[in-house]
Chains A and B, each alone.
Chain A
Amino acid sequence: MISGILYDLLFDYTLRTVAVGAAALGAVSGALGSFAVLRRQSLLGDAISHAALPGIALAFLLTGSRATLVLVLGAALAGWVGTLVVMAVVRWSRIPEDAALGIVLSVFFGAGLVILTFVQRDPSAAQAGLDTFLFGQAATLLERDVAVILGLGAVAVAATVLFWKEFKILSFDPQFGRSMGIPMLRVDMILTTALVIAIVIGLQTVGVVLMSAMVVAPAAAARQWTDRLGTMVFLAAFFGAVAGTVGALVSATAVRVPTGPTIVLVVSALVLGSLLFAPERGLVAAWRREVRNRSRLRTEAVLLDLHALAGQHEDGSHPHEIGALEAMGHHPGGAEETLRHLRKRGYVSERDPGHWVLTEAGRERAGRILRDRGGVP
């Protein structure tokens, strides 16, 4: 099946169009989503994409046109108005931001549904296209849709390149930016507009309900691999493109697999993989670090205690009973297993059953540990 898809990708014109469009929208939303995630505005994307619905429906109702550019511009305008409403409510009332987002996303969406019922009543309206905006339909992507995605996406990317420094300051230290005399409110507006663009160009493929995942998930996955903004944005764009392409191709070639949910599942898998396996921040790496640290602390405690016991005895090579070691209270769970482990590495040896002594290498090692800890060897 995979080779079949690859073959089609190379030689099937429709499929190639779908793949290019999905890759482009995934890359743009991944890149712009990085800023949203860093600014703790992950759910703004959810609000914008839902708020876009009345814009799509109104644009169709007013112009009678199903041209992607018209619908997308309507969506962008509505999404942008929704963002302004969130900002206004947060600024001029005591409603917390999350509630403001919830109100905007659900009320705008509800209004969109009402307008959609008007659209659907018009029998001459070719309204089939509007339904795909709920869950997305990659198979309906035509060449001119992809042109819109590429064109508007290029605008959003250009804004990111042009205002890279300002976006970076806005994401990490807006107060500093203000003190430098940068008009942060204007920068915020530009970044938000770029985010709105990144979201609306994905609506036809991913759908309003799930587009928020394309904003957050690639960025959240990328965040696990790096601490540098530039790397994160590139990686997020890459993850977004991969998820978009794979999801769109699977759904365009399989029967009855909606595009939006498929893309979201692919990108969720990328997030899960990153959370688990990223170096440094990955949960598996962290777990292994913890196991290693714990085992190091355990062996060091046994070495040091044996060293201390040897120091108390006139004959430094006198073996000590394991009970004496455990009585020192630094070895929860017993010292036996750790001692065997140390013997394998040649630091201790067992004279009589249950009686242990440091070897020459063990003495040296204990001395080095003490020196590292700032004690007297």
Chain B
Amino acid sequence: MTAIDLEVQLLAIVVAVTCALPGVFLVLRRMALMSDAISHSILLGIVLAFFVVEDLTHPFLVVAAAATGVLTVALVEALYRSRRVKEDAAIALVFPALFSIAVILIARHAGGVHLDVDAVILGEIAFAPFRRWEVAGFDLGPRSLYLMLAILLVNVGFLLLFYKEMKISTFDPALAAALGFSPVLLHYAFMSLVSVTAVGAFDAVGSILVVALMVAPPAAAYLCTDRLPRVLALSAGFGALSAVIGFWGAWAMDASIAGSMASAAGVVFLLAFLLAPDRGLVPQARRRSRQKVEFAVRMLLIHLLNHEGGPKAREESQVVHLEEHLRWQPEFAERVVRSAEKKGFVGRKRGEELRLTDPGRHLARRTMLS
């Protein structure tokens, strides 16, 4: 692993974490696809700003791009509020139009502009280390790493400063308005933050993969916990994890780094979807099957209690008999009996005949009473 690999890896992690933090609020506010809209339309800001300053590294490009992002949000909301189209259609109308203008402008002036449409979509994180930041002859490292670190700092600062406001306005906008701070102002401040983040990340991973980093890690984190601080921390962690897996995956396969990072984010989400404690599909299925056995154990105990001391007690206590009387499959009956035995609710006498123990009798009575 060379120093350049290390720099790319570091940049990938910073980009992923920077995207994952505001992404949490995008997902919680059901605005995940705003990231799609913003990450596309900022290209128009970049192109127009480039025509003005004619320098691809000029900071004005970032400002103009972020402004276009906010303009996109405003346009979508204006369209939606005119009540001529629904909100989802408003998003799908605004960003393709802005993005198309940008692509046509780039294509028409391809000779003069060192802007490549493919790079816009795919990102070029692998080339990031070749654009260095030098001060008085000293090489301080890749420029985009510093840019991303600065944006990360702004994100963390914003979330620390307005954590309470963001939380209330996300979960209870009416309360937020009643408490006297303006949800609209906060909303636009936040969308500016998302735009700036998208601009920085866009340079590294391209517009569509910004969406992957802004939505997948927060969604995975949201499946793992209910507490907002933990969602934020986990989301950042999942983002970094996706960056590491993605980078090494790309390295091993010699494939697109950005694509590989997005795929890794997808895998992380899939794992959370399947395995998240409580909410994952596997824990849910296991809980259901455990509950099924627990319920069956109670049924077994009540069944035994009903016939205890009765004329057919011996017959009804046979394991084989359970199969026809309670209509259990043989292996399920065996599983239930074993679970009841293990918990000390029944004992087996003479091989196949079941007997209630004292705790078992007690539980059966209590179940019938409740």
Contacts and interface: CB of A to CB of B under 8 A. Distances in A.
Nearest to A268: B97
B121 A216 contact: no
A219 B107 CA distance: 28
B216 A103 contact: yes
Interface in B60-100: 79, 82, 84-86, 88-89, 91-93, 96-97, 99-100
Contacts of B30: 96, 98-99
Interface in B204-220: 208-209, 211-212, 214-216, 218-219
Given A210-B96, A210-B100, A101 B262 contact: no
Interface in A36-56: 37, 40-43, 45-46, 50
The number of chain B residues touching the other chain, given as a range, is 35 or more
A50 B223 contact: no
A64 interface: no
A93 B265 contact: no
Contacts of B99: 209-210, 261, 264
B231 to A, nearest CB: 12
Interface residues of A, number: 61
Contact of A98 (B31, B86, B122): B31
18 contacts: A42-B89, A101-B32, A106-B265, A107-B262, A109-B259, A109-B262, A110-B209, A110-B258, A110-B261, A114-B259, A114-B263, A117-B259, A118-B255, A209-B40, A212-B96, A257-B107, A257-B108, A264-B99
A89 B27 CA distance: 14
A223 interface: yes
B318 interface: no
A216 B92 contact: yes
B33 A43 contact: yes
B121 to A, nearest CB: 6
Given A103-B212, A213-B93, A135 B103 contact: yes
A283 interface: yes
A319 interface: no
A177 to B, nearest CB: 21
Interface in B186-225: 208-209, 211-212, 214-216, 218-219, 222-223
A216 B76 CA distance: 14
B325 to A, nearest CB: 35
Contact of A212 (B92, B118, B122, B259): B92
Given A112-B259, A114-B255, A114-B259, A45 B92 contact: yes
A268 B208 CA distance: 21
A134 interface: yes
A102 interface: yes
Contacts of A158: none
Interface of A: 37, 40-43, 45-46, 50, 89, 92-96, 98-103, 105-114, 116-118, 121, 131, 134-135, 209-210, 212-213, 215-217, 219-220, 223-224, 256-258, 260-262, 264-265, 268, 271, 275, 281, 283
State the main secondary structure of chain A at its contact with B: helix
B260 interface: yes
A281 B266 CA distance: 42
A275 B97 contact: no
B260 A99 contact: no
A50 B269 CA distance: 18
B281 A92 contact: yes
Counting chain A CB atoms within 10 Å of each CB, the highest count among B99, B117, B262 belongs to: B262
Interface string B29-46: 011110110001000000
A93 B273 contact: yes
Given A102-B32, A109-B212, A113-B122, 19 more contacts: A95-B27, A96-B32, A99-B30, A99-B219, A102-B214, A103-B215, A107-B212, A111-B262, A113-B259, A117-B256, A209-B99, A210-B99, A215-B92, A216-B93, A217-B96, A220-B93, A258-B103, A264-B100, A283-B84
